[in-house]
Amino acid sequence: MLKSPISLDFNWGSFTQVIDKAPVQIHERLVEQGSLTALLKSQSSSFRVGVLGEQPLVPPQYIREALGEQTELAICREVLLFCDEQPHVYAQSWISLEANEHGLQNLGDKPLGEKLFEQSIWHRGELEVSCVDDLQARAQLCELFGVEESPVFARRSVFTKGSAKVLVCEIFNSEIINK
């Protein structure tokens, strides 16, 4: 059973820390500075967003550290990004209430990334990557992806517009990319 939201309490760092562990097929996705949605759309004949949940929550401490300690409540959005009907990416975003007021509310099955990149007023912070070392999180992700237990890699960054912030974390299905 999926524990929602999936914990993102990983060891985050630079791409050089995971380059030797990550399959070469996902290197491009881990370091993409532009819209991941645009990249996925360009690499598949069909793309869609499957919403797993979207709800206001008190962020755990490690999320508050990324968004700013003053964040007492944020919208947690969990989605699967499907390419050619295969789940390629689990994305979890934490949208501050202030950011939600900047056109990010009620997205439904529309990609958050498109909104952030179509509005050039959002500034993307440093990209961090991780090899998912939390066994429970990795098991949940493999279950969502419909694959056997395998290494899972993630990236995250914070988008800001003034004091409004959005933490976007994308976790990649390494198995599907190898096919």
> What are the mean pLDDT values of the chain's consecutive 10-residue runs (179 residues total)?
78 87 86 88 92 93 86 92 94 93 86 84 92 91 89 93 93 74
Report the pLDDT value the prediction gives residue 1, as an integer from 0 to 100.
42
Determine the Cα–Cα distance for residues 83 and 65; give it in Å rounded to an integer: 32
- Both tokens of 24, joined, read 């070469």
CB contact at 8 A, 68 and 28: no
Give buried/exposed letters for 146-169 (b at 16+ CB in 10 A, else e). Answer: eeeeeebbbbbbbbbbeebbbbbb
- Both tokens of 88, joined, read 């390629």
Query: What pTM was estimated for this model as a whole?
Result: 0.92
Residues ≥6 apart with Cβ < 8 Å to 87: 50, 80, 81, 144, 145, 146, 173, 176
